[in-house]
Amino acid sequence: MDRFTVSLDEDLLAQFDQYSQRRGYSNRSEAVRDILRQTLEAERLGEVGDGDCIACLSYIYNHHERELSRRLTQVSHAHHDLTHTTLHVHLDHDNCMEVVVLQGQTAAVRQFADAVTAETGVRHGSLHAVPVERQVSEDHHHHDHPGHDLPHVHHRPKT
């Protein structure tokens, strides 16, 4: 592991130390590594069409909004190939939260997320995406799962 020195003014260092403490980091190096990973992932994901990603889209909406549930279902069905699972939570008498786990081309995932969060009545939409490398596996076996020796795809987070 390589080491490097960073110079910060006192105010920025104090803010960074407070951030690190709030987030529960045991040392500055761990905090810097996570911030660098997040920044580099965001940059990679910002390049439209830059490979595959896994993602979590969460949003809150008022289920009384006219036709909103139907419109959200239509958008979801139009992108069923990206969706792994959806969690639906009733927050109160009016509001619901949905969390959708997605996987696919980054551009397609972003388009889906934009289509959902742009619907009138959807609030607090947020997409968290992680770039992955798509690897077709033909040469390893899942010994604890007989019959699962067929070629299949693994999505490994990029490092």
Specify binding-site residues for Ni(2+): 77, 88, 90, 96
Q: Report how far apart, in Å, the C-alpha atoms of 17 and of each of 74, 80, 132, 159 are.
A: 46, 43, 31, 25
**Which conformational region is residue 50 in: left (phi greater than 0), alpha (psi within -120 to 50 degrees), or beta?**
beta
Dihedral angle at the C-alpha atoms of 129, 133, 137, 141, nearest 10 degrees? -60
Which amino acids are annotated as binding site, given as ranges? 77, 88, 90, 96
